[in-house]
Structure 1
Amino acid sequence: MLEEILVTARKRSENIQETPVAITAFSGDALRAQGILTAQDLAKSVPSLQINDSTAPQIFIRGIGQRAGLARFDPSVSVYLDGIFIPRPDGQLLDTIDIESVQVLRGPQGTLFGKNNTGGALVFSLVKPGGEGNDYVEGALGSYSEQRFRAGFDIPITDKLNSRLAISSQRRDGFLHDISGVENQSLDRLSFIFQTDWMLSDSVSIDSLAYFGKIRERYPSYHCKIVNDDALFVNGLGILWAGDTDPSNPHAYKDNCNANSRDALKDLNTNQGDSQRQKKAQDVMLLASTLNWQISEDYNLKAILGYRDATKIGPQTQADEGGPKSYFRGMVLGDNEQESLTAELQLNGSTFDGGVDFTTGLFVQSEFKSETFLTSNELIGAEAVPFIALAAGQSGVDVSALNGLLDALSVPGGTLPVVAGALPVSTLQDFEIEGETYAIFSQATWHITDNLEFTFGGRYTEEVRRSDLFTQTANLEEISSVISAANPRFVPVLPSLGAFAYLGSWAEDPIQIANDILRNAYPGEIGAPLNPAVKDELDSVFREFTPMTSLAWVIPEQWLFDSPVNSMMMYGTWSNGFKSGFQEPFGVDGLIEVAPERLENREIGLKIDAFDNSLRLNIALYSMIFENMQLITVSVDSANTLVVSSQNAGESMIEGGELELLWLPTENLMFSFNYSNNNYRFIEFDDFDLAELALKGQKVPVDRSDEDFAVSPEVTAAFGAQYTFITQNSVFTPRLDVSYKSEVYMGLDDASWDVAKRDPGSIYAKATTLVDARFSWFMPDRDLTISAYIKNLTDKRYDIGAVATASSLGTYVQVLGEPRMFGIEARQTF
């Protein structure tokens, strides 16, 4: 029979089958049985869960998540460790280190868990000091020189004070070889967790936690594919790039992307060039303490205090156009700080002779984030006539007024080559964000009868944000002076644009010559002289009330008499979620405000245990209305410069269903199956045509409501089978897991959807089926387990991340997931 699983989705311990929440829970033993080492692995076994991890984790539940990992963006799925809110889940706290259990709550959790839970929440609980049989040492060796070591030990101090130390180290070479000579997608992680459990009295205890983590690894490099020849950076602006020596046949930009295409390279090889910075370096510290006071038999008070300090160490490449040359780069520089302090007070209890259970409390958070971000473009070129027409069209100047300049640039048979900093050569932004969150919440469950309960609650949240932005742009006049001084054949014609006429021919590649001069003069990451910093600041306050109600009915046992069903619960829920708004840089316009997200969820569910509790079936059906979804798009600022920014999609709808099945047909055999189907639909999503904005400065509306949701698959499924062979001295357990995800749309802008409609396979990550196998040998007399495993048994090539920007860059960059990995591990318990 299946064991009872206790969860804390409603801030109190309850049987999962009697909790009216769509939730998947794993014990530490279940995680090890499946070989789950990170939260990313959970996505193979949890319906509607999608996790991509490259520069930072991208966690999506039911199609709701955050696509970028920059400091300005809050997650849409929150992470908690022992009740402590982790505002930035980009450290290795998502590794399953010394974990007692993991709970994945699906759907908005806006009442008890607060803001940034529109998608749901991941709740991790650590093994506590003082338990029986919790000491262990674990080691593993695997593919690509993987070495993994983990250990956890209880350290008794006094009868009232226990402590526990857990250590984890994991290293693995990268499996993506870049032609520049580096191995990307490597692992190098070290962490320590120290806990104490202090019983001050029979009713008061303090649990404390100290976590230290260090990451020094390389995240994935990627491949490139041209998907739109009419994109602005390809042919849309009529510009030339370094390597173009014939203006009638520009090809350098496309050649650069194609040099890093999968078709041009050997398997598991990339070609991103020497300018890539695929470094993932981060230090994380978390300190926390929880006071538990059992006031009486019916009332418990809990006070939680958490402090987190993290440093993301640059330079880290965040974006480029996908080729080996540094035509366009976006990267994080320096040491970027993340600091947060959270405090929560919870009163849990039961009143009216046990007729009402309740949770009420206060939550406060203070957070500081800093980020230094650099965007850079190389100098570009154009024939004089189209260049002047482009510059005039963007600024609204009559082209006929520039005839004199055109005459000066004319030579027999045409015009002189023009090289310019028409795209931002370098823009350095120091971004500092401070914020406070205040919330009051309460939720109560009224047990109307022994079988019928009504839950209601609400949370009021106030979010205060203050942002300071310091922007430095390239000094184009100084660039003009440096280049013309180094090579007198470059004659400044529009110093404010860093534009030169070249007294020579295109065959000499003047664009490359000018970029080489600039690179030699300014060899650092920034690559250009900068103007003095311009400061912009913006304060915002966001307020929201997120109520919920739920009605749950447990079918009376007498109704189920003589049926195969042992227990059945039906529930209906109406809940709301809220994700705070934020401020972000918008080119020369400084800071802009992005509105908060709001989500309303209607859900019905069914939870069944049957056949002498050997089969468990849980089903959830839901319909969600999403307002002001925060999406990343490409736009232009008031100077008609391309900027990657956020905007709100007016309204969208998500309708879907999830199924989870667990079956023990015999004592030794176990099957698991889960399935989700989510139908995503924009109801209102208005944008502006990027080409018209960039070329003419005109806002031409575009309706994008027919697009698919990005990043999340519509269908996910997983099947697991495990059989246990028991002999006199050993237990052998082979296990097979198969996971499936349907194709995923990866477009970022309007043109990407147009391309996808013409060629459905071009901007979708293909549907993927992955097979994992594991064989464990447990020796009870020695408390020793030896396991062999293979992940991605069929060596499938699949994407774990990708983005298509067909309007601007014209490229589709794709990130490969892990190839076949195998290894052996041993775990000794004490």
Structure 2
Amino acid sequence: MDRGEASVLKSKTRLNAILAGASVMALGTALPAHAQDNAAASAREANNTIVVTAQFREQNVQDTPIAITAMTGQMLEARGQTSVADLGDFAPNVALEPATGLQGNSIAAFIRGVGQADSSFALEPGVGIYIDDIYYGTTFGAVMDLTDLERVEVLRGPQGTLAGKNSVGGAVKLYTAKPDGTGGGFVEATYGSYDRLDLRASANFAISDELFARVSVVSKSADGYFKRLDYGCVNPGEGFPATGDGGSDCVLGTEGGRDLQAVRLALRYAPVDAPFEVTLRADYANDKSEIAPTKLLYANNPNVRSYVEGDPAAGIPFDSRFLTAPDSYTSYATYSNGGNYTTPFGIDRQVAPGSFSVNPQGSVESWGVSGHVDIDLADNLVLTSITGYRKAEGTSGIDVDGSQLAILLQQFNYSHEQFTQELRLSGQFADGMVDATVGGFYYDANDILTGRNQIPTLLFDFLSDDLVTNRSASAFGHVEVHVTDNINLIGGLRYTNDKKVYNYSRLNVDGSVPSGVPLTPNFLLAGLNGESGTFKGDRVDYRLGFNVTPIDDLMLYAQVSTGFKGGGINPRPSAPDQVLTFGPEKLTTYEAGFKSQLVDGRVRLNGAVFLNDYTDIQLVRYNCPDSVVLSCSVPSNAGDAEVLGFELETFLEPVDNFTIDGSLGYLDFDYKEIKNASTQVTLGMVAPFISKWQLSAGAQYRAELPGGASITPRVDWSYRSDFWYNSINNDYNKIDGYNLVNGRITFESADGNWSLSGAVTNIFDKFYYTGKSENVASFGVVTGNPGRPREWSVTLRRNF
């Protein structure tokens, strides 16, 4: 429905709402029986009529010629999905995981094998994250809560013309529930494993006949499921002193705990007789959760010995003794280094300015405001303005070696600030034969990364305070030509101009500038302080396609579309001559698909097959023969590849009240060229986070009880095959495939006001890893991030 039609129907909609409310009151106790008679049809209709806005206008997802997984807020609740990281379990060829501890509170997001796992502000995401059409320009702080959403759209394939840069793999779009003045809300409490306590509430109300409001709040807390053990306490005979009181269980602390509070407010002004509508939103979140659990999997560095001068355990090497039991949620990480340690430069002891400890936390405090304005300029012509400001600040600390020894300890403070503005002019022309949108987009971000990096084995112990400015502007157009009632042509074009500046600060921990004198602390970094690098680039993306409807409830489509992931500057130079830029990744996708609804909506089957032409892939060089420092970590455009894949999604309702949903994804990644051997990537390797197979299935049955109440059991299963976490594939960073099964059962009262749910996630208590970090060559260390174990919860909800 376009804005012109929406404006005309405003008063009718309100009248219908009033009449519907009066009808409900008149029906009284007869309503539950009537609801039972129509429950199956309503659920089926809701599943088949999800409205999306992927093409700048409202469309049924089944009428949109894009590979989309769309879920309503009710669907998310039925599956128990509460975070962005949960969405990848049920969308084909999608991986959304909390990043490794090295990356702080960020997300590793990949769609169809394209994405980003590094949270550095110098690097761009490969999957666009949007909140109410506001682009969020970094992976840091993107593990967002899904409370009180209207819907989620997961778009697969490059969205270069529709969404813009960095949506090259696809996009994840979150839409919060709008205030509509109809009243209602809910209060919900959840208690579960590890003293989990979640509280959620939302209220939707009218302030006046034309001004509506919605308020949502959430609080989540839980103890960590991963224990940090005191090595000296657990192994008293090895000479290491205990580092804490430990108690009888020798526990220093935990990882994986949750501590989140958030609030969201929305105001919607919709005057009946005026040709405009305004929605204002504001939100605040304070996430003080513990860092993602990090388990030491490999330890072998003969250059590292006990660090405490005079320690009776002096001389004990860093080796497998610091590994805890396999498949256990434990480590010996102390998140602290002492003041003395052995180095590989022939110096027996290198004295640091003092001991260094960090907090094992992945905190993010964020807030944002936005304004969405629609103005009817004429019949079927709407001007839309979307303005947003967001700021996020956070801290993360990581003890990479997971032991009492001093190898790599880091503390980072992140600050991300962004402003976005989008203007769109949309309309229908030629008696409805043409739908067209033109517009412009502007993005302005300022990022700061401060921290301390203590790497004793390389004589590094320095402070960083880097500033990154990121500007992007684009102009775009999208057109759909309805040639006949059954044939549509689609075209799109977007021009983007980018500029990014990275300013480096490298200081000794006492605030002085590294001297450059050999074998003094941080001498390799001399000359980097005050350096800066600049990246500039522009890009044109396009989309061409068509779709046909040969019979009712069957749509066929084909298209070619492009997108890119922005270029940048090396964020981790070891010398000034490593301050180098790299260009954007580029993707062209050839795709054909179908969408179908059969048997009166009881069967829905959607599918797509695609070929990605993936060029200038950003890979890291680890050898820089032209630099004064041979060892390096420099991103470069060093790879070209082809990716062949297909996807299927289905929804079945074989009998009333019994539904089955499922998905299947397949990816075949094939490097065609590696342009620089120093990346250590070879043609037989594949990009990170690419599982050849990804499957999911879910089933639920709503059983009606005497008196009108109901009970609904649901089970969900997901599987992904093996994948690698790093571009350089080896056994150290290979993650074995795994199956996960979740279950939930919900009792709902006859009037729908009360519900009680019990849930178990990871029912079979599968031990698996969501990520691995491999630093064998540099530090002799491999770590992994265990996924959550089996957990139970009970939820009580009151709707009003």
TM-score by length of 1: 0.80
- Aligned in 2, Cα 1:478/1:737: closer, same or farther, shift over 3 Å? closer
User: How far has the Cα of 1:647 moved from its partner?
Assistant: 2.6
AA aligned to 1:746 is Y
Structure 2 residue 791 is the aligned partner of structure 1 residue 719: no
User: How far has the Cα of 1:319 moved from its partner?
Assistant: 6.8
Larger radius of gyration: 1
- Aligned in 2, Cα 1:605/1:111: closer, same or farther, shift over 3 Å? same
Corresponding residue pairs, total? 699
Structure 2 residue 704 is the aligned partner of structure 1 residue 731: no
Tell me, in whole angstroms, the C-alpha distance in 1 between the residues paired with 2:512 and 2:435.
70
User: How far has the Cα of 1:243 moved from its partner?
Assistant: 7.0
1:655-734 superposed matches below 5 A: 655-688=644-677, 704-727=682-705, 728-734=707-713
User: How far has the Cα of 1:686 moved from its partner?
Assistant: 3.9
User: How far has the Cα of 1:86 moved from its partner?
Assistant: 1.4
User: How far has the Cα of 1:132 moved from its partner?
Assistant: 3.5
Structure 2 residue 366 is the aligned partner of structure 1 residue 294: no
Tell me, in whole angstroms, the C-alpha distance in 1 between the residues paired with 2:218 and 2:308.
51
In structure 2, the partner of 1:787 is: 757
In structure 2, the partner of 1:279 is: 361
AA aligned to 1:612 is D
- Aligned in 2, Cα 1:474/1:282: closer, same or farther, shift over 3 Å? closer
1:580-595 superposed matches below 5 A: 580-585=566-571, 586-589=573-576, 591-595=579-583
Is the contact between residue 201 and residue 216 of structure 2 (CA under 8 Å) also seen in structure 1? yes
Structure 2 residue 562 is the aligned partner of structure 1 residue 576: yes
In structure 2, the partner of 1:53 is: 98
Is the contact between residue 594 and residue 647 of structure 1 (CA under 8 Å) also seen in structure 2? yes
Is the contact between residue 25 and residue 101 of structure 1 (CA under 8 Å) also seen in structure 2? yes
AA aligned to 1:174 is G
| Secondary structure, aligned partner of 2:636 | strand
- Aligned in 2, Cα 1:458/1:764: closer, same or farther, shift over 3 Å? same
> Of the candidates 138, 142, 161, which is equivalent to residue 88 of structure 1?
138
Provide, for residues 564-589 of structure 1, a one-character-per-residue CA deviation record: whole Å limited to 9, x for no partner: xxx11111010000111111331112
- Aligned in 2, Cα 1:261/1:688: closer, same or farther, shift over 3 Å? farther
In structure 1, the partner of 2:207 is: 157
| Secondary structure, aligned partner of 1:467 | strand
Is the contact between residue 505 and residue 530 of structure 2 (CA under 8 Å) also seen in structure 1? yes
Q: CA-atom RMSD, angstroms?
A: 2.8
1:2-401 superposed matches below 5 A: 2-3=44-45, 4-54=49-99, 55=104, 56-91=106-141, 94-132=144-182, 134-180=184-230, 181-200=252-271, 201-226=273-298, 234=301, 239=303, 241-242=305-306, 254-255=318-319, 258-263=321-326, 267-275=328-336, 277-313=359-395, 316-317=396-397, 320-333=400-413, 336-379=414-457
Provide, for residues 726-778 of structure 1, a one-character-per-residue CA deviation record: whole Å limited to 9, x for no partner: 122311100000110111123454xxx4x54xxxxx54211100010000001
Is the contact between residue 224 and residue 262 of structure 1 (CA under 8 Å) also seen in structure 2? no
User: How far has the Cα of 1:254 moved from its partner?
Assistant: 4.3
Tell me, in whole angstroms, the C-alpha distance in 2 between the residues paired with 1:495 and 1:538.
25
Is the contact between residue 289 and residue 363 of structure 2 (CA under 8 Å) also seen in structure 1? yes
User: How far has the Cα of 1:35 moved from its partner?
Assistant: 0.9
Tell me, in whole angstroms, the C-alpha distance in 2 between the residues paired with 1:70 and 1:38.
22
Tell me, in whole angstroms, the C-alpha distance in 2 between the residues paired with 1:464 and 1:495.
36
- Aligned in 2, Cα 1:809/1:279: closer, same or farther, shift over 3 Å? same
In structure 2, the partner of 1:553 is: 548
Provide, for residues 67-115 of structure 1, a one-character-per-residue CA deviation record: whole Å limited to 9, x for no partner: 1112222211111111111113533672111101001000100001000
- Aligned in 2, Cα 1:574/1:721: closer, same or farther, shift over 3 Å? same
Is the contact between residue 334 and residue 399 of structure 2 (CA under 8 Å) also seen in structure 1? no
User: How far has the Cα of 1:807 moved from its partner?
Assistant: 3.4
> Of the candidates 791, 794, 799, which is equivalent to residue 769 of structure 2?
799
User: How far has the Cα of 1:675 moved from its partner?
Assistant: 0.6
Gaps of 5+ in 2: 1-40, 231-251, 337-357
User: How far has the Cα of 1:22 moved from its partner?
Assistant: 0.2
User: How far has the Cα of 1:543 moved from its partner?
Assistant: 0.1
Is the contact between residue 473 and residue 530 of structure 1 (CA under 8 Å) also seen in structure 2? no
- Aligned in 2, Cα 1:205/1:747: closer, same or farther, shift over 3 Å? closer
Provide, for residues 643-689 of structure 1, a one-character-per-residue CA deviation record: whole Å limited to 9, x for no partner: 44423232111110010011001111001111101011211224445
AA aligned to 1:113 is A
User: How far has the Cα of 1:358 moved from its partner?
Assistant: 0.9
Structure 2 residue 617 is the aligned partner of structure 1 residue 629: yes
1:752-771 superposed matches below 5 A: 753=729, 755-756=730-731, 762-771=732-741
AA aligned to 2:388 is G
TM-score by length of 2: 0.83
Structure 2 residue 504 is the aligned partner of structure 1 residue 469: yes
Tell me, in whole angstroms, the C-alpha distance in 1 between the residues paired with 2:495 and 2:422.
14
Tell me, in whole angstroms, the C-alpha distance in 2 between the residues paired with 1:478 and 1:20.
57
User: How far has the Cα of 1:465 moved from its partner?
Assistant: 1.4
Is the contact between residue 335 and residue 409 of structure 2 (CA under 8 Å) also seen in structure 1? no
| Secondary structure, aligned partner of 2:684 | coil
User: How far has the Cα of 1:529 moved from its partner?
Assistant: 14
Tell me, in whole angstroms, the C-alpha distance in 2 between the residues paired with 1:707 and 1:714.
13
Structure 1, 347-356 or 321-330: larger mean CA deviation: 321-330
- Aligned in 2, Cα 1:259/1:687: closer, same or farther, shift over 3 Å? farther
Tell me, in whole angstroms, the C-alpha distance in 2 between the residues paired with 1:35 and 1:185.
19
Provide, for residues 310-329 of structure 1, a one-character-per-residue CA deviation record: whole Å limited to 9, x for no partner: 1123xx23572444422123
Tell me, in whole angstroms, the C-alpha distance in 1 between the residues paired with 2:293 and 2:212.
45
AA aligned to 2:519 is L
Is the contact between residue 624 and residue 654 of structure 1 (CA under 8 Å) also seen in structure 2? yes
Is the contact between residue 761 and residue 791 of structure 2 (CA under 8 Å) also seen in structure 1? yes
Is the contact between residue 407 and residue 779 of structure 2 (CA under 8 Å) also seen in structure 1? no
AA aligned to 1:587 is S
Is the contact between residue 719 and residue 739 of structure 2 (CA under 8 Å) also seen in structure 1? yes
Tell me, in whole angstroms, the C-alpha distance in 1 between the residues paired with 2:460 and 2:473.
42
